[in-house]
Chains A and B, each alone.
Chain A
Amino acid sequence: MNEKIESRKPPVATTGIIGWLRINLFFNWTNSLITIFVIYCLYQFVPWILDWTLFSADFKYNYLGQQITNQEMCSRNLDPENGGACWAVIYVRFYQFIYGFYPREEVWRVNISYVMLAIALLPLLITKLPYRKIFLNFTYIFPIIAYFLLNGGFGLPDISTNKWGGLLVTLVLGCTGIALAFPIGVLLALGRRSKLPVISMMCVLFIEFIRGVPLITLLFFGMVMLPLFLPEGIDMDGLVRVLVAVTLFQSAYMAEVIRGGLQAIPTGQYEAARSLGMSYWRMNFQIILPQAIRISIPPIVNTSIGLFKDTTLVIIVGLLDLLGIGRGTLADTNWLGLSYEIYFFVSLVFFIFTFGMSRYSLYLEKKLKTGINMGAD
């Protein structure tokens, strides 16, 4: 009885595309109903949105072949049957959306800053990057270079921040806010758990005060009150004032997020570090924080995304960020009524950034295996 039995293929219904469909989409009747409903909705929505955004849309020329310079020349305003979105407004205003009112002859400085930002982010995003150490050093000094490049100095003409706008302001606020708030947040979190009453009381007061008021209030505080506290003659830049408010706000939230991580660290870790004779700072920076921050990644990214979107509030204090430029465009009599196109574009840009951030956090979680049982690692 040495007959060899051919291994049989698994049933068709459980493998391949059919198997996948059965398990994931049509597992039982509720599942099937939901699948059919979702497909129906997509069928209704996707062709329409593709048609509106792409196939029937104007990009630079309308359906008569004329270059569009105002909303009356958009296909959908010339002939409602014959047109979708009118992206010409984005095309014409692209410079403002990306750079605000930055002088055109100096715009190379912004472009270089954007490129340098990408380079500075590389070593943070790719751990296997060759020469990562050198790149990291660049990342640390990038903010200083960018400051002088954008603002002026060392022979470059000064560009008042009043002329900054659009994506430039959004990125400056978002990046600076997130980057500065993280270290401050760590210190505040450690301070709040400190056994020294003065330090912990001050941190609690600060955090609770900032968290107790809305960002708008802080922005107003920065815009209106901050100049009163400064000696006369010192003129603090409007953007800097907003940055201070945004950073304070974000660091308070960051502190609480990190404190959550700190509380999840078992006491044994502290005791082990102490028994090795480590100092307070060494214990925190080498044993506790690396673990605490690792488990705090999802909420850290969460608050960072929140801050990035909250930067649109700066319109209240008169700074024109990406959304502000969009609203300004809508107020131009040439482009009245194109709100769908403009808000769609602005939300798309925001989506690209926030989605990128959330993907990055997923990648980090996977890489650092945050799901593991802490004690048994």
Chain B
Amino acid sequence: MKKLLSIFAVVAFAFSAHAGTLDDVKNRGFLKCGVTTGLAGFAAPDDSGEWAGLDADMCRAVAVAVFGDRSKVEFITTTGKSRFPTLASGEVDMLARNTTWTISRDVNLGFEFVGVNFYDGQGFMIPSALGVSSATELDGATVCIQTGTTTELNLADFFRLNGISYEALPIETNDEGKENLFAGRCDVYTTDASGLSSTRAAASNPDKWVVLPEIISKEPLGPLVRHGDHQWGDVVRWSLNAMIIAEELGVTSENVDAQLGSNVPEVLRLLGVEGSYGEMLELAPDWAYQIIKQIGNYSESYEANVGPDTPLEIARGLNALWTQGGILYAPPFR
């Protein structure tokens, strides 16, 4: 099935490969951005029907960069299976759909990952009553695991490496895993850490559950575009980087106007006061200023959607700036 899909993707790509996504988007008047059908903290419709979340902010940031208007974006919902064909056939201009950057997706499927907007990884959640503080103490545990996913293979590797045994309880969906864990049919539920956080937040008493500190896989999630249109790839890449750099420089949506008179050269370059970086990207000179003004920097987006003050309570961890113990790093704005 996967192979078949990738063939479709390549064929679709061959049919629709024409340069100038940026021009297409400008002519159309709005951005088409592929998101999930709903994932807590990443993309979900709010009460008024507006899409909100870390990935939704990524889409809006690109819309702001191109049009200077955060509302000039149409969200196209995609599932794990339909996302790649949708992007390849040109139905969306970009995907921001918590998609893990892997070599086969980057190379074989003909996509270009332009960066990472969330570093995720597979983790474990257990009832706090179990009294376990590390995943290596889980010998003999029953583990709820989604079948047919990379998490299943990672789990087997992890337990084999640590020389401990487990019993797998195969499940199909996240909901099923949640119900089984809450009903006590399995001792451990394993999936991506962000998914565990939302599962925990959905529990009637979140304090009864803990997410163990071990992260056993790399899941860098990021926005992606089609191969072969580097100009458009650059626009998306630097929209993300602008948000990260803004955090590094301490520019927020609140102080961005005051920062226009800053004496830090990189701030002035970022906000378009100096240099002609907008022109290089074929965007307005103040494109990054508008992103920060209308969306905020990376930290603001993170805190509003998935941070410790939200029900998801995901600590910055790996997603902190490289200067603050994380690995979030953007090339210099120069």
Contacts and interface: CB of A to CB of B under 8 A. Distances in A.
Give the interface centre of A69, A220, A224, A225 by most chain B CB atoms within 10 Å. Answer: A224
Contact of A318 (B8, B44, B82, B202): B82
A96 B39 CA distance: 17
A327 B38 CA distance: 7
Contacts of A191: none
Contacts of B86: 223, 318
Contacts, number: 110
Interface in A297-335: 315-320, 324-325, 327-334
Main secondary structure of the interface of A (DSSP, over half): helix
B29 to A, nearest CB: 12
Interface string A69-86: 100100011001000000
B38 A228 contact: no
Contact of B45 (A80, A317, A328, A337): A328
Interface in A144-188: 160, 162
A39 interface: no
A336 B77 contact: no
B175 interface: yes
- Of A76, A317, A336, most buried by chain B (CB within 10 Å of CB) is A336
Contacts of A325: 45
Contacts of B49: 95-96, 100-101
A333 B43 CA distance: 10
B271 to A, nearest CB: 31
A162 B15 CA distance: 23
Nearest to B45: A328
Contacts of B15: 228, 232
A32 B284 CA distance: 82
Nearest to A320: B77
Given A332-B40, A336-B201, A224 B47 contact: no
A262 B81 CA distance: 41
A101 B45 contact: yes
Nearest to B179: A339
Interface string A51-89: 000000000000000000100100011001000000000
Contacts of A318: 37, 76-79, 82, 86
Contacts of B310: 333
Given A316-B82, A320-B37, A331-B44, A337 B201 contact: yes
Given A328-B37, A333-B311, A96 B45 contact: yes
Given A317-B79, A318-B79, A224 B45 contact: no
Contacts of A327: 37-38
A227 B89 contact: yes
B82 A336 contact: no
Given A101-B45, A224-B8, A333 B77 contact: no
A36 interface: no
Contacts of A282: none
Interface in B1-24: 5, 8, 11-12, 15-16
Given A101-B45, A324-B37, A333 B82 contact: no
A341 to B, nearest CB: 13
B8 A333 contact: no
B46 A334 contact: yes
Contact of A339 (B37, B41, B78, B175): B175
A160 B39 CA distance: 23
Given A318-B86, A336-B198, A77 B74 contact: no
Interface string A219-255: 0100111011000100000100000000000000000
A92 interface: yes
B203 interface: yes
B40 A225 contact: no
5 closest A-B pairs by beta carbon, nearest first, are: A331-B38, A337-B202, A328-B38, A331-B44, A336-B202
Given A228-B8, A228-B12, 5 more contacts: A92-B47, A160-B74, A320-B37, A331-B44, A336-B311
22 contacts: A100-B49, A101-B49, A162-B75, A223-B85, A223-B86, A224-B12, A227-B91, A228-B12, A316-B82, A318-B77, A318-B86, A324-B37, A324-B38, A328-B44, A330-B202, A332-B46, A332-B52, A333-B41, A333-B44, A336-B40, A337-B202, A337-B204
